[in-house]
Amino acid sequence: VTITGTLSPTFSTDLTANWKTYTNIKYLFSVKYPNDWSILESKPEYVRFFKGTYKATEPIPETYISFLLKEKGDISLASWLLAQGLLPTVGNLQGNIQKEELSVGGISGVKITTPINGGQATIYLPIGKNILQISSVFMGESQTDYNSLVKIFDQILSTFKFIDQNNNSVTKTQLQGFV
């Protein structure tokens, strides 16, 4: 049997390979973001990434991706979300809120999407007694820009990782002792 044909190599391009990296030394995580985006870290617990250039003398843009660390105490993620009014319950937007389980940086969490501003997504990751809240806020964007920003949000999330004090990746088990 003779097989003829040509093999073509397949190339996988990492679109985030040349992006900038933000590292949060206090809460031990890093994430990549596009080179043409700006960053505002008002405190280690709260950092925002903006499309384009941001100057402190200007109003904060309404389109951003944020990482916010909140205290949840000893309760479960589900109990915390319910106490915050973030889960669909009778009388609270029921079918308009979508809940999806996912994993980011090796940590299982919940993504909640609401119809606000065309579909605002927030991810909640339980880390010890804290919640890492990762939000996408894309106000006033055209449908084309909105779809592009959702892809960028997903790409940013794909680069998220927890690190140790030496900037090395850590496992979920190792992480519990850090945060």
Provide the pairing of β-strand 130-138 with 63-71: antiparallel
Residue 124 pLDDT greater than 90, yes or no: yes
Do 73 and 130 contact (CB within 8 A), yes or no?
no
What is the spatial distance between Cα 65 and Cα 49, in angstroms, rounded to a whole number?
Answer: 5
> Which of 149, 163, 121 is CA-nearest to residue 33?
149
Instruction: Provide the whole-model pTM.
Output: 0.79
* pLDDT value for 10: 60
Residue 107 pLDDT greater than 70, yes or no: yes
* pLDDT value for 36: 93
The rounded mean pLDDT for the chain is: 80
What is the spatial distance between Cα 42 and Cα 8, in angstroms, rounded to a whole number?
Answer: 49
pLDDT-based confidence at residue 46 (cuts at 50, 70, 90): very high
pLDDT in tens, 50-93: 888 888 788 888 888 999 999 888 999 989 988 887 776 545 44
